Amino acid sequence: MDKLEKEKNCNNQTFEDIKHIDENGIEYWYARELQIVLSYKEWRKFEGVIQKAKESCKNSGISAFEHFVDVDKTIKMPKGATKNITDYKLTRYACYLIAQNGDTRKKVIALAQTYFAIQTRKQEISEKEYSSLTEDEKRFYQRNLTKKGNYSLNQTAKNAGVKNFDRFHNEGYKGLYNGETADDIAKRKGLRYREDILDNMGSEELAANLFRITQTESRLKRDKVDTEKKACDTHNKIGKIVKKAIKQAGRNDARRFTNT
């Protein structure tokens, strides 16, 4: 695959693929991984772009230290040798500044500028601004929130003693979807094997699941749940509560995405 084809095949999912989330649920990117996605062959040239981005950050009155964190890494070399290299943990804003200072002749740079600009803005979106988004934009926004929510819920569930996470998540789905598991929902939606059901939900359905996720996490913490069975029971109970709340909202909205 030549350079042009690689740039054509680069899409928003590529930037999501290299995103990391720390133990506090904070997202970040590694500069070395971003370098590859942005089609920079030499670290020396890409680090020059990073330095320009850091200057832009400083000139905006924002601490570059908070957005460009130095990281020392050890990599394996041929014949068992190792080498220490420099890397950076980057915030979404740092990635945006790097894209802004990148080689505009690269099509992937334009894509990165758009992607990180939109996503940085969506983190600060207001209720009024949200209402003006298209359905696709709302769905994308809710999907990102749901991903973060699930990650945080998993950490809390793990602390509560959960080991079988498929069982744990299915209990939540069963509560919200009238007994359906994730597989049942996927079949009803006509999805292919291993296709993520959350990637195939509208904004309202994602919002309902996000509410289930956040309320379950809150209940696990508040009740100091300490066994997998109690955690599963809690998740199922919260799912049913959310389902009931949706039905009581007025228009039987639950029927839009459940099997009832």
What does the pLDDT look like over 59-82, one tens digit per residue?
A: 877 888 889 999 988 877 777 777
Residues 155 and 219 in one domain: yes
Residues 135 and 118 in one domain: no
Which one-letter DSSP state was computed for residue 124?
Answer: T
Contact 137, 115 (CB under 8 A): no
In the predicted model, is pLDDT for residue 14 greater than 90?
no
Domain that holds residue 204: 129-256
Residues 168 and 114 in one domain: no
Residues 95 and 142 in one domain: no
Residues 110 and 143 in one domain: no
> In Å, how far are 69, 150, 151, 211, 248 from 214, measured between CA atoms?
30, 8, 11, 5, 20
Cα angle 243-244-248, degrees, rounded to a multiple of 5: 120
Residues 152 and 175 in one domain: yes
Q: What is the mean pLDDT of residues 230-245?
A: 93
Q: How far apart, in whole angstroms, are the C-alpha atoms of residue 39 and residue 46?
A: 9
69 three-class SS: strand
Residues 150 and 170 in one domain: yes
pLDDT digits (tens, 9 = 90+) for 84-124: 889 999 998 899 899 889 887 888 887 887 777 766 655 65
Residues 170 and 100 in one domain: no
Residues 12 and 112 in one domain: yes
Q: What is the CA radius of gyration of the chain?
A: 21
What total of structural domains would you count in the chain?
A: 2
